[in-house]
Amino acid sequence: MDVIIPPPGEVINKRLIDTLPGGKIGTVQRALFAAPQGGSMVDKSTSNLEHFIIRQQRLHPEATGEFSSLFSNITFASKIISREVSKAGLVEILGMTGKTNVQGEAVQKLDAFAQETIVKIMMRGGTLCVMASEEQETVIPVPEPYTRGKYVLVFDPLDGSSNIDANVSIGTLFGIYRRKTISTGECTPSDVLQPAKSLVAAGYIVYGSSTMLVYTTGQGVHGFTLDPSVGEFLLSHEEIEIPKRGSIYSCNEANFPLWSEGVRRYVADFKAKPERQAKSRYIGSLVADFHRTLLYGGIFLYPRDKRYPTGKLRLLYEAGPLSFLAQQAGGRGSDGVKPIVDIVPDKVHQRTSLFIGSEEDVLEAEDYIKRFGDSL
């Protein structure tokens, strides 16, 4: 097929589409024809994730390329998981394994597959010294004869797994730290139990109508969409910024009677203000709910309650990485009292409350909790 490519920066138009067979364009062609947004000099048609990371690496002459290699392994693992998720209804990979994880939750077959895939790929990469996962009670050290690197990976291999059988969007969450101890020898708990403000990078991959990877290295938040026809993550969302305030609140309102007075009043008042035109959206998959909040603004909240007095979500590999990412996008993540990124975890599976999203909305939630109390 002959493809007509206009000069760089020319806006896509109907006449151009009409020159193509069937008057349609695909994902890659649309990227080729699209004009740069916001004055960006990045050509999205040829800027895949690897090229983008290399471009950012050049901003740091001291970089060795080890981080780029680590990230390449993460994206490779995500492509394999995406492939299995996309055909989950066609092969025997749906349903339970019959086991429970350290959280007391039933392990889905895709949970186990994602965990095994990430561990196997990252173990042999030579960039990590230790990993920590939602699915494993203890940390996962890199054993000999594998080469130990200077980074630490914390991750939730498949968030939202209770929704797998219902074909709801699910995802992988991750955070990357530098080890604090010397680069030789065994890692220590201090290498893993670091506050989110010390993250080198954080991100997530959401497996939905398309597979999208969103990440930050502290220099803006960027999103890449997987084009299965070429097997590459292509730049689709550059410099994502969350609105300062939104109209969407996202929470499990069935827990309303179990919340503190401060949280109940905040949610009730959020809905009651007519000028806000409040909308409720709740999927029940953290990565999917956060992804929508990042793009559209508003607040996602999962506060502590009478059943989970310290909170339900995990600090190290869920709330921490997402709060770091939200902060880089101009948003905020909080436990209702203080920023999540400042909390130093004292154990791998430590739980926390989470209020995350538009900065003004999260600050308002903190103010309600301060004024009306957080006692259960």
CATH of the domain at 279: 3.40.190.80
For residue 242, tell me if it sits in a domain.
no
Residue located via tokens 């308002």: 364
Nearest to 330 by CA among 354, 303, 363: 363
pLDDT at 86: 85
pLDDT at 181: 86
Q: Are residues 102 and 215 in the same domain?
A: yes
Q: Are residues 259 and 323 in the same domain?
A: yes
Q: Are residues 357 and 211 in the same domain?
A: no
* pLDDT tens, residue by residue, 236-255: 999 999 999 999 999 999 99
Q: Are residues 284 and 321 in the same domain?
A: yes
Q: Give the 3-state secondary structure of residue 273.
A: coil
* pLDDT tens, residue by residue, 255-306: 999 999 999 999 999 999 888 899 999 999 999 999 999 999 999 999 999 9
Is the distance from CB of 85 to CB of 210 less than 8 angstroms? no
E strands of the chain, at which residues? 96-100, 106-108, 128-133, 140-141, 151-159, 170-178, 201-207, 211-216, 221-227, 232-237, 248-250, 279-280, 299-302, 313-314, 332-334, 351-352, 354-357
Report the alpha-carbon distance of residue 58 to residue 39 in Å, rounded. 21
Along the 376 residues of the chain, how does pLDDT read in single tens digits? 343 333 333 333 333 333 344 444 444 444 333 434 444 545 665 688 888 887 777 776 666 778 999 999 999 999 999 998 887 766 555 555 545 665 656 567 888 999 999 999 999 999 999 999 999 999 999 988 898 999 999 999 999 877 777 888 999 999 999 999 876 677 888 899 999 999 999 999 999 989 999 999 998 999 999 999 999 999 999 999 999 999 999 999 999 999 999 999 999 999 998 888 999 999 999 999 999 999 999 999 999 999 999 999 999 999 999 999 999 999 999 999 999 999 999 999 999 999 999 999 999 999 999 999 999 9
For residue 9, tell me if it sits in a domain.
yes
pLDDT at 321: 98
- Among residues 188, 204, 237, the one where a domain terminates is 237
DSSP result, 22-60? GG---HHHHHHHSPPSTT----TTT-BHHHHHHHHHTT-
Is the distance from CB of 152 to CB of 192 less than 8 angstroms? yes
Q: Are residues 26 and 136 in the same domain?
A: no
Q: Are residues 324 and 215 in the same domain?
A: no
For residue 11, tell me if it sits in a domain.
yes
The answer to whether the Cα torsion of 102, 108, 111, 117 is positive or negative is: positive
Q: Are residues 367 and 271 in the same domain?
A: yes
Q: Are residues 8 and 140 in the same domain?
A: no
Q: Are residues 90 and 133 in the same domain?
A: yes
Domain span holding position 148: 49-237
For residue 277, tell me if it sits in a domain.
yes
For residue 105, tell me if it sits in a domain.
yes
Q: Are residues 257 and 303 in the same domain?
A: yes
- Among residues 237, 256, 273, the one where a domain terminates is 237
pLDDT at 76: 96
79 CB contacts (<8 Å, ≥6 apart)?
211, 226, 231
For residue 43, tell me if it sits in a domain.
no
User: How many other C-beta atoms are found inside a 10 Å radius of the C-beta of residue 265?
Assistant: 16
For residue 243, tell me if it sits in a domain.
no
For residue 42, tell me if it sits in a domain.
no
CATH number of the domain residue 70 falls in? 3.30.540.10
Q: Are residues 193 and 74 in the same domain?
A: yes
pLDDT at 150: 92
Q: Are residues 104 and 24 in the same domain?
A: no
pLDDT at 94: 54
182 CB contacts (<8 Å, ≥6 apart)?
none
Phi, psi of 254 (to 5 degrees): -65, -20
- Among residues 212, 237, 262, the one where a domain terminates is 237
In the chain, the number of structural domains is: 3
Is the distance from CB of 213 to CB of 79 less than 8 angstroms? no
The answer to whether the Cα torsion of 70, 74, 77, 83 is positive or negative is: negative
Name the amino acid, one letter, at 21: P
